[in-house]
């Protein structure tokens, strides 16, 4: 996997395979064949902002499921760290371990202030096209709300 420009709306989402919190390899294309994917990159397990964000995705999980969407979190934490994080906070979705940051680079997720791994959420439709990108390091709880709004629009739901 090589570094590329930022993935933007209308781009085909780059495919990748990473281990989930149980060590099982998960390929993006396989998940996309079944559902729309809400792929969110976050800095680190158990940090305040990331915990708030993960809980917000958890608390909205039934709404994502009702819109036929799969939430997938990605950070450079280990499989073991992801497993503990998911268990401690009852997270019902996949957490993928991008240990060397290759997938983060593949998507062009920039660091905040050159230090912190970025916090970016992508909504990817079942054909693999990126339909929405939301980037905000500080507004962690807005990521799930943004994604749900986009999913509703894609489905033609009345809010």
Q: Show the low-confidence residues of the chain (pLDDT under 50).
A: 1-3, 159
Catalytic-labelled residue, pool 50, 94, 96, 133: 50
pLDDT of 66? 94
Q: Is the pTM above the cut of 0.85?
A: yes
Task: Spell out the domain ranges in the chain.
Answer: 17-155
Residues 6+ apart with CB under 8 A from 18: 25, 26, 74, 96, 97, 98, 103
17-155: which CATH number, 3.40.50.1240, 3.40.30.10, 3.40.720.10, 2.60.40.10?
3.40.30.10
pLDDT of 116? 77
CA 108/CA 120 separation, integer angstroms: 10
pLDDT of 154? 85
* Nearest CA-CA partner of 15 in 81, 4, 24: 4
CA 102/CA 54 separation, integer angstroms: 22
The answer to whether 18 touches 33, Cβ cutoff 8 Å, is no
Report CA Rg, the chain.
14
Query: Is 50 a known active-site residue?
Result: yes
pLDDT of 141? 78
Residues 31-43 pLDDT 10s: 998 899 999 999 9
């Amino acid at each position: 996997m090589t570094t590329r420009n930022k993935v933007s709306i209308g781009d085909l989402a780059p495919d990748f395979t990473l281990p989930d919190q149980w060590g099982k390899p998960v390929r993006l294309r396989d998940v996309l064949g079944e559902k729309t994917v809400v792929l969110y990159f976050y800095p680190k397990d158990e940090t305040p902002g990331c915990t708030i964000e993960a809980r917000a995705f958890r608390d909205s999980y039934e709404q994502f499921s009702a819109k036929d969407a799969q939430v997938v979190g990605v950070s450079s934490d280990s499989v073991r760290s992801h497993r503990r994080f998911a268990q401690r906070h009852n997270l019902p979705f996949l957490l993928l371990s991008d240990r060397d940051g290759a997938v983060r680079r593949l998507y062009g997720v920039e660091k905040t202030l050159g230090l912190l791994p970025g916090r970016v959420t992508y909504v990817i439709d079942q054909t693999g096209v990126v339909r929405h990108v939301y980037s905000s390091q500080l507004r962690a709880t807005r990521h799930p709300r943004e994604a749900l709004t986009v999913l509703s629009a894609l489905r033609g739901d009345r809010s």
